């Protein structure tokens, strides 16, 4: 057994007290293990404990949701459809997105959190809409398969800090190894804060859409995310956008997702 393994059960939602207890236990394990621990694993675990403290100190009322996807998935168009205005830049030439763009719902200031995330482009969403999205900080990331190395690195940096992941894919690339092997399969502890979207659903017939969603679900199950539901959307027609907003509203409710993601970080570090 790894010296960092703490051994708590999975259970339900993560409370602030749970997260504090687990993070403190991780820090204590690092101290107790001392020279017996693998230096690289110990340093990684210490960075996780520091991240928990930093994130909790910055706007615990907000939930950071990252839209991540490959080139051509329509991620930025879907982002704009959820926001209700053209906030993210969309262009014919790729890569288009080189820095994250943020859309913020609610009146609570998110400046300190966005400074920590290093997101310069910020849009305050006006009140309104059927869903309660107050507290949502939605990020449109650079493509994780961008030709530009700096864009890929920026996407991966923010993925490491976000509370909820929305993996946006499309009928052409939903089975790509980079999505599944490099990202989804590497984050099996994070199924509670993962949403998977099959965008550009309007390009498929109903029968094709059913088959594509079923195959994507099969791949996610293989990746270790057995309970993640696949949403079908079309940024062009608006199909499924309301359902996605409803999922985001559930993620924001009670600001639980941030604690759940951080607790998954701690659990992953402890079980390394």
CATH number (domain holding residue 118): 3.40.50.300
What average pLDDT does the segment 113-119 reach? 94
Rounded to 5 degrees, what are φ and ψ at 8?
Answer: -95, 155
- Shared domain for 190 and 264, answered yes or no, is no
Is residue 2 scored above 50 in pLDDT? no
- Shared domain for 98 and 44, answered yes or no, is no
- Shared domain for 42 and 86, answered yes or no, is no
Q: Which domain holds residue 37?
A: 16-58+260-270
- Shared domain for 21 and 148, answered yes or no, is no
In angstroms, the CA 143 to CA 208 distance is: 26
The reply to whether 2 falls in a domain is: no
The reply to whether 149 falls in a domain is: yes
- Shared domain for 171 and 251, answered yes or no, is yes
The reply to whether 131 falls in a domain is: yes
The reply to whether 4 falls in a domain is: no
Q: Give 95 or 8, the one with higher predicted confidence.
A: 95
- Shared domain for 115 and 223, answered yes or no, is yes
Query: pTM for the complete prediction?
Result: 0.84
What average pLDDT does the segment 240-246 reach? 95
Q: How many CB atoms lie within 10 A of CB 268?
A: 17
pLDDT in tens, 4-30: 333 323 345 678 888 888 988 888 888
pLDDT in tens, 127-170: 876 568 999 999 999 999 888 888 889 999 999 899 999 999 99
The reply to whether 188 falls in a domain is: yes
- Shared domain for 187 and 53, answered yes or no, is no
| pLDDT of amino acid 6 | 32
In angstroms, the CA 127 to CA 159 distance is: 27
- Shared domain for 44 and 79, answered yes or no, is no
Lowest average pLDDT, out of 65-69, 211-215, 261-265, goes to 261-265
Class of residue 173 by CB neighbours under 10 A (exposed 0-12, middle 13-18, buried 19+): middle
Residue pair 171/204 in contact by the 8 Å Cβ criterion: yes
- Shared domain for 30 and 156, answered yes or no, is no
What average pLDDT does the segment 175-181 reach? 93
Is residue 222 scored above 70 in pLDDT? yes
In angstroms, the CA 111 to CA 44 distance is: 27
- The residues, any chain, with a CB within 8 Å of residue 244's CB and separated by 6 or more, are 78, 82, 166, 195, 197, 231, 233
pLDDT-based confidence at residue 90 (cuts at 50, 70, 90):
low
- Shared domain for 209 and 118, answered yes or no, is yes
In angstroms, the CA 224 to CA 187 distance is: 8
The reply to whether 7 falls in a domain is: no
Domain count, the chain: 2
Q: Mean pLDDT in the chain? A: 86
- Shared domain for 266 and 151, answered yes or no, is no
- Shared domain for 226 and 152, answered yes or no, is yes
The reply to whether 73 falls in a domain is: yes
The reply to whether 204 falls in a domain is: yes
């Amino acid at each position: 057994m790894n010296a960092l393994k703490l051994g708590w059960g999975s259970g339900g939602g993560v409370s602030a007290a749970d997260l504090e207890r687990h993070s403190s236990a991780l820090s204590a394990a690092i101290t107790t293990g001392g020279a017996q621990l693998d230096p690289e694993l110990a340093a990684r675990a210490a960075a996780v404990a520091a991240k928990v403290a930093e994130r909790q100190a910055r706007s615990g009322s907000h939930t950071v949701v990252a839209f991540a996807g490959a080139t051509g998935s329509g991620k930025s168009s879907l982002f704009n459809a959820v926001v209700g205005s053209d906030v993210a830049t969309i262009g014919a030439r790729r890569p288009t997105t080189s820095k994250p763009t943020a859309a913020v719902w609610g009146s609570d200031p998110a400046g300190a959190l966005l400074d920590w995330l290093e997101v310069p482009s910020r849009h305050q969403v006006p009140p309104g809409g059927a869903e309660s999205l107050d507290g949502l900080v939605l990020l449109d990331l650079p493509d994780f398969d961008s030709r530009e190395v700096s864009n890929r690195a920026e996407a991966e940096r923010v993925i490491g800090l976000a509370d909820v992941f929305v993996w946006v894919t499309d009928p052409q690339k939903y089975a790509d190894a980079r999505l599944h092997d490099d990202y989804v399969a590497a984050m099996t502890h994070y199924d509670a804060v993962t949403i998977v979207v099959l965008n550009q659903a309007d390009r498929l017939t109903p029968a094709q859409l059913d088959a594509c969603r079923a195959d994507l679900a099969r791949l996610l199950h293989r990746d270790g995310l057995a309970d993640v539901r696949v949403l079908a959307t079309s940024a062009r027609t608006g199909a499924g956008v309301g359902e996605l907003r409803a999922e985001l509203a559930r993620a924001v409710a009670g600001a639980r997702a941030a604690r759940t993601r951080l607790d998954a970080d701690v659990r992953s570090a402890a079980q390394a």
